Structure 1
Amino acid sequence: MQALSPALASWLADAILISHVAVVLFVLLGALAVPIGAWRRWRWVRGFRWRLTHLVLMGVIALQAWLGALCPLTVWEQALRRRAGEAVYRESFIEYWLSRLIFFEAPWWIFVAAYSGFAAFVLLLWWAVPPQRRAGKVS
């Protein structure tokens, strides 16, 4: 197998960053959608698989924070940027703007507290707005 070209590595790093933003939006907007959807009687917010995915993802994020581990998406993106020969300070347009939306400079404990609190909120939503399995379906 031939090694990635720097241009392809840079493009893949941008694609991973976009995916990372999508994960962040899924977690944040999902947590907002559940209580709003319960109030508005949207049936999809009680979907079991969707809610389980949301809960497990937030649990993994909180666990990574407790362990001091970087998100695999961050690790892959950084490796690809190094492969592309991109310096830390040199950023593409996509990287520049999307990174500023999801990455912040703060002490480690702030992230642990924030992720843990958000995970507790998602778990509370599981109890307050319980998901429902479809009748007649075995998952």
Structure 2
Amino acid sequence: MAYALAADLVMLVHFVFLLYVALGGFLAWRRPGLIVPHIAAAAWGLLSATVGMDCPLTAWEDAARRHAGEQGIPHGFIGTYLTGVIYPADRLVEAQLLVASVVLASWIGFAVRLRRRRPARKA
């Protein structure tokens, strides 16, 4: 029971992390200090998507599920919970490009807002 609960908590944290990767740049519009951790999270997401770096959260959830007597998550977090559920399995690249576009849009908006907050310099 404890392992199943731990697995569910790790799954929840993983979903929140993915939401932060996709939308954290918009949070930085209000809280500029969040931009640095968001850049780090987005870089991790980029590395994971492009070179297949495994996320430790996936390994922790998989181990906890196996200890609980469950199957585990043999297809990884994205393959288990998102691909074929949130978007069609044959649209993975399009989904990744959409998330990347949202991240870039949030960073552009962050830069514009930051520039507007700073007073103009006098010559």
TM interval, shorter chain, is 0.5 to 0.7
Structure 1 residue 79 displacement after superposition: 1.9
State the percentage of identical aligned residues: 24
The Cα shift of 1:129 comes to 3.1
- 1:17 pairs, out of 6, 11, 26, with 11
- The residue type equivalent to 1:17 in the other structure is M
Tell me whether 1:79 sits opposite 2:63 in the alignment.
yes
Number of residues of Structure 1 aligned to a counterpart in Structure 2: 104
Question: Scaled by the length of structure 1, what TM-score is found?
Answer: 0.56
Give, in whole Å, the separation in 2 of the partners of 1:16 and 1:83.
14
* Cα distance, 1:85 vs structure 2: 1.4
CA RMSD in angstroms, aligned pairs only: 3.0
Structure 1 residue runs of 4+, over 6 Å off? none
Residue equivalent to 2:82: 103
Aligned-pair CA distance for 1:88: 5.5
TM-score by length of 2: 0.62
Structure 2 Cα separation of the partners of residues 28 and 116 of structure 1: 8
Unpaired runs of at least 5, structure 2: 116-123
Higher relative contact order (CA 8 A, sep 6+): 1
Q: Structure 1 stretches of 5 or more lacking a match? A: 1-6, 38-44, 90-98, 132-139
